[in-house]
Amino acid sequence: MPYAFTLDDVAFLRSEEGARALASCDALPLTDRVADVAAVRKLVGERFAAVLETVLLRRRGKLDPSWLYTGDALQQASVPAVARHRAERLAGRDVHDVTCSIGADLAELARVAHRCVGSDLDPVRLAMARHNCPGVPLVRADALRPVSRDAVIVADPARRDSSGRRTWRPADFAPPLDELAAVYAGRDLAVKCAPGLDPAAVPWAAEIELVSLDGQVREACVWSAGLATASRRATVLRSDGTQWTITDRDPSDAGAAAPGEWIIDPDGAVVRAGLVKHYAARHGLWQLDERIAYLTGDVPPPGVRAFRVREHGPYQEKSLRTLLRARAVGRLEILVRGLDVDPDALRKRLKLAGDQEATVVLTRIGRTPHFFLCRAERIPG
């Protein structure tokens, strides 16, 4: 169970004495829970639990290491690059973050908004937000009882039930997604959700944006009519600061045809946003099968990891095993779409041996399973 911080804990951690306690424990290895508790208790006394938990949370490296967090709040908090992207869409506006928690989104909103305010029901998280976002106005308030006017409403409902288990039902969010939309009907509203959100659960949303960072899909954000600029959007961010976006307003005139020289597996945000054809059209690619997200072409897009096709044909496990042995493949990456194949189980059955490395893409074209033996390459750009 995560440690339950109190207001007294937060007051201590924000004090000079608390800062010294945190600094004194920061050099400890903290690799053995029993020994760690004893060591921290000896160093800082009765506040050992709050200090130990804070040091351990800071070491996760997700947010500013000088911040205060609870375990649950840190787990749900947006990483700065994703929060920054969402905030930039609201630059120059008056914004109210109605579920501000410890302030991960609020900090980025405050950088670009005309005016910004945060609120939350949890007094401990609000106290942490005051430490994390100095100078930003904060108020304790229920997200379902409006306390601001005219400002854009930003929300990140909790997605765990009363027992702490993750929930995927928007009706079980805290606050429930439909109630949030009803309360702020007619207001500009942006709500952060999990990437697996069913669009049917948010009929009020004018735009659904899927956001990935360094190849990992991080979130869906739903935007009300006053904030939307498309119906579906995929935004791809990278830690080096580069980014690009594609929407359903882009051309989608990409069909299916015979394999080209390369196989491209589009970013997960593109796939989840249903924009595979749009991405293909942008880069002169086409699909192997119109129902499968793999793309192919003779020139891969810049900046992606693509797969140069060496051999391909109808897939049978026995013939693939023979081919891999003939090519002395001992290290094999297996990518699968459209087939009921467990890559880990298949890899064991293939009994690989050799000093070569390869990628095999397994998919279907029409009703026929196919394999593509490839060499993975990182394309510049």
pLDDT band at 31 (very low <50, low <70, confident <90, very high): confident
Span 128-153, mean pLDDT? 97
The per-residue pLDDT for 224 is 97
Average pLDDT taken over every residue of the chain: 94
What's the CA gap between 50 and 127, in Å, rounded? 14
Q: Determine the pLDDT at residue 163.
A: 56
Q: How confident is the model at residue 160 (pLDDT cuts 50, 70, 90)?
A: low
pLDDT tens digits, 119-138? 999 999 999 999 999 999 99
Is the predicted pLDDT of residue 332 greater than 60, yes or no? yes
Q: What percent of the chain has pLDDT over 70?
A: 97
Query: What kind of fold does domain 74-244 have according to CATH?
Result: Rossmann fold (3.40.50)
Instruction: Work out the percent of the chain whose per-residue pLDDT is above 90.
Output: 87
This prediction has a pTM of: 0.92
Mean pLDDT score, 210-220 = 97
Is residue 162 predicted with pLDDT exceeding 70? no
Who contacts 217 (Cβ-Cβ below 8 Å, separation ≥6)?
A: 195, 210, 211, 268, 269, 272
Where residue 36 falls among pLDDT bands split at 50, 70, 90? confident
What average pLDDT does this structure show over 285-300? 97
- Predicted confidence at residue 172, as pLDDT, reads 79
Q: H or E segment at 139? A: strand 138-140
* Amino acid, res. 168: W
* Beta strands 207-213 and 138-140, pairing class: unpaired
248 torsion bin: left (phi>0), alpha (psi -120 to 50), beta (else): alpha
Instruction: Find the largest Cα–Cα distance for the chain.
Output: 70
Q: What is the pLDDT of residue 39?
A: 87
Rounded-to-integer distance, Cα 267 and Cα 201, Å: 24
Instruction: Identify the pLDDT of residue 170.
Output: 78
Q: Which residues contact 75 (CB under 8 A, 6 or more apart)?
A: none
pLDDT for res 168: 67
Rounded to whole angstroms, the Cα distance separating 247 from 304 reads 19
The two three-digit tokens of residue 241, written as one number: 């600061």
Collapse the DSSP code of 50 into the 3-class scheme (helix H, G, I; strand E, B; otherwise coil) and give the result: helix
- Between CA 139 and CA 156 the distance in angstroms is 16
Average pLDDT estimate for 239-248: 96
Delimit the domains of the chain by residue range.
7-59, 74-244, 262-378
Q: Decide if pLDDT at 262 tops 90.
A: yes
